[in-house]
Amino acid sequence: MIKRVFLSLWLTMSFGLVHAQEHPYRVVFDLTSGDSLNHQAVMRWIKGITASHPDAELEVVMYGKGFELVMPGKSTVIEDVRVAMKNSRVSFKACQIALRSHKVEKDQLVEGAQTVPDGIYEIVSKQQDGWAYIKVGR
């Protein structure tokens, strides 16, 4: 009887582990705020996720004033951003529409920050590809 229970538990746990491995850890963060507390939050999440799940793919899409996260001189977490950018599975993408509307040039962003034509479309595309969505805000 004990062997049956043990075997049943082992099979259930094994199936759960196999099932969990079928789903990659991919998250797109939606950042629209220039608020430093929001910037600190997203960087804290990135640090935590990459520490516990090194294979996770993370992308921060910035529109509105969210692109200030990757602006030296405006960002309070720019060194954390630089460290995170060393991980090829972490990316920071600023919306070109937002940059234009705020008269910001790509060369004003930290080296390694990328741009996308439309931040909202980038997020929608990621979600359609199965990425999880997290809105950064407080």
CATH placement of domain 24-136: 3.40.1260.10
Share the mean pLDDT of the chain: 90
* Collapsed DSSP state (helix, strand, coil) of residue 23: coil
Counting Cα atoms < 13 Å in the Cβ hemisphere of 23 gives 9
What does the pLDDT look like over 42-93, one tens digit per residue?
999 999 999 999 999 999 999 999 999 999 999 999 999 999 999 999 999 9
Q: What is the pLDDT of residue 22?
A: 73
Tokens standing for residue 44: 């804290």
Residue that wins the pLDDT comparison between 71 and 23: 71
| pTM given for the model | 0.84
Asked whether the CA dihedral 74, 93, 85, 113 is positive or negative, the reply is negative
Q: What is the pLDDT of residue 7?
A: 40
